[in-house]
Chain A
Amino acid sequence: MRVGVMIASLCATGALADGALPSDVPLAATVLSQVAPKNEAIAKASQQVDDGDFEDAVKTLEKGLEQPDLTDDQLVELYRLLGLSHLYLGNEDKARDAFEKLLQARPDYELPKSAPPKIRTLYARIKEDIRKRRVRPVTLTVQPAPDVDGGQAVDVQARIEDMALGAKAKLFYRRAGAQAFSSVDFVREKGSKVDYAATIPGFEVPAEEAGWDMEYYVEVADAAQRRLAGKGDAFNPLTFRVAARSGAAPPVAESRPWYKNPWIWVGIGAGAAAITTGVVLIATSQQSATLPIQIQIEGMP
C-alpha cells in the first residue's frame, strides 16, 4: 500500500518518467534520512519517509514544526524531510516552500547523489528559482531602548516577522567612542514566533560619576551573513543614555592642554589674518610719491 502510494506520487510528479526509481523501492534510507536527529518528530518522520509513508510523514513533520525551542539544525532537518515528502507526493508548491526555508538556512545544501535524478532535477529547479527570487524579506521592528541607570542589564525588544530559517538576529553595542562593537544574540520569547529579546549584561553598563551614551544597532543576517534586516548600523547606531551614579559630584571639567583648545587656534588664525591684512593695507596704502631733486647750477664747479 505504502509503496503503491509512493509510486503513484512519483508518477504524478514525473519522477519516474525515465524509470530512475527502482520498482522494489523502499527508497533507500541512506538517501532520505541523512541526519540522525534526536528530536522525536524527526526520528518518526524519518522512519516514515524511509517506509514511503509520505502523507504520515508530512503530518508528523508539520506537528514537529510547531514545537517550541527547535534548534536550527532541527528545523533544517524537519524542512528537508518535509520537502522530500511533498516532492514524492507530487506537491511541488509545498515542496518548494519547504526547500525555500531549508535553503535560507543551508544555501549550499545538496541532495545526496543517490537521490533519483528526477527529484534532483526538480530540486535543482526549485533551488534556482529561490536563488533568483532571493530570500523573503524579513520585517524587523525594534523597541528603542530607554535611558537607564547604570549597573543593570538592559533588555532590547524586537519583533521579527518572516524570520528566515537559519537567520539570526544580533544586538551590537558599544560605549560611545569605543572602537569595536560587542554583540549578543536575540532569543525568541517563549510562546511567540515573532517576539525576540536581547540583553546587554549589567557589567557592560556600569554606573559612573558622569552619564555616558551606549550605541547599539540590531541586525538580522542569514546563514551566509547577508543582512536581511536591521535597525541602525555601525555607522549610524541608535543610542541610549546611562545615567550618572546618583549622588555623584558633577563632573569636573577635564583639563586639556592649551593647544587642544580650538579657540586658541581660532585666535591665532584671526591674528595671522589681521597681521596679513595690515601688511597688505600698509603696502597698498602708500599711494603717494616722493621725488628727491638735486639742483646744480650749470657752469659752477
Chain B
Amino acid sequence: MTRALLALGTLAFLGCGPAAAPGDGFDIQLVVSRGLLDQISAFQVALVTQGASLDCVAVQRACIKDQVDSARFVPVKDGAGMTHQALRFPISLTTGTPNTQDVSLRDLPLGRDYALVVEAVSKDSPPRLAGSSCSYVKELTAGTNMTVFARVEMLATPASCDPTLP
C-alpha cells in the first residue's frame, strides 16, 4: 500500500506539472528555428572565380547563377567523380548550439581570388532561394585549406529564382 502511494506521487511530480506559458523564449526560438529548417531542403555550394569583383551583399539577394557567367563557376566533383558547377548537400544540421553542417569541396584547382557561395534551397517545387552566403576565398593551395565559415542569411521570403545549377 505504501509503495503504491509513493509511485503515484512520483508520476504526479514528473508528468503532471504546470504547462509552459505562451511567449516563453525557449519555446519561441524553437518554433522559429523549426520554421526555418522546414523551408530548406539542401545547401548548394558553388565556387566562383574573380571573387573580388563580386558584390557579396547583392549576391545574397538572388540566385548566383543569374548573376555571373557560367564560365566563372569552378567545376567541382561529387562523390561519384561527376563534375558540376555546384554541389548540393541535403540539409543535415547538427543539433546543439549553433546548428552547423560541415561539408567540403574536393579536387579543386589551385588558384587565387574566389568567392564561395552557399545557397539554401527551399523545399518548394520548383525550388527557390531561401537564403544565401557569400565568402571571399583569397587563395586555394594544395591540400586541405582553412575552413570557411559560411553564415547563410535567410531571406524574409524566398526569392523567386530557382538556384539549381547543373
Number of interface residues, chain A, beta carbon within 8 A: 16
Judged by a CB distance under 8 angstroms, whether A288 is at the interface is: yes
* Cα separation A287 to B107 with both chains bound (whole Å): 8
Main secondary structure of the interface of B (DSSP, over half): strand
Cβ B140 vs Cβ A289 within 8 A: yes
Contact of A288 among B33, B40, B106, B148 (CB under 8 A): B106
Judged by a CB distance under 8 angstroms, whether A178 is at the interface is: no
B63-99 at interface with A (beta carbon < 8 Å): 93, 97-99
* Cα separation A142 to B109 with both chains bound (whole Å): 78
A247-301 at interface with B (beta carbon < 8 Å): 286-301
Judged by a CB distance under 8 angstroms, whether B116 is at the interface is: yes
In the complex, residue of chain A having the shortest beta-carbon distance to the beta carbon of B29 = A301
* Cα separation A295 to B94 with both chains bound (whole Å): 10
Contact of B133 among A287, A290, A291, A295 (CB under 8 A): A295
B113-166 at interface with A (beta carbon < 8 Å): 116, 118, 120, 131, 133, 137, 140-154
Cβ B99 vs Cβ A286 within 8 A: no
Judged by a CB distance under 8 angstroms, whether B103 is at the interface is: yes
Judged by a CB distance under 8 angstroms, whether B48 is at the interface is: no
A227 shortest CB reach to chain B, Å: 69
Residues of B within 8 A of A (CB): 29, 33, 36-37, 40, 43, 45, 47, 93, 97-110, 116, 118, 120, 131, 133, 137, 140-154
- Given A288-B107, A293-B118, A296-B100, 7 further pairs, Cβ under 8 A: A287-B110, A288-B108, A292-B144, A293-B45, A293-B103, A293-B116, A297-B40
Pairs A–B under 8 Å by Cβ, sample size 30: A286-B142, A286-B143, A287-B142, A288-B110, A289-B141, A289-B143, A289-B145, A290-B105, A290-B108, A290-B145, A291-B104, A292-B104, A293-B105, A293-B116, A293-B118, A294-B149, A294-B150, A295-B43, A295-B100, A295-B102, A295-B133, A296-B101, A296-B151, A297-B37, A297-B98, A298-B151, A300-B33, A300-B36, A300-B98, A301-B97
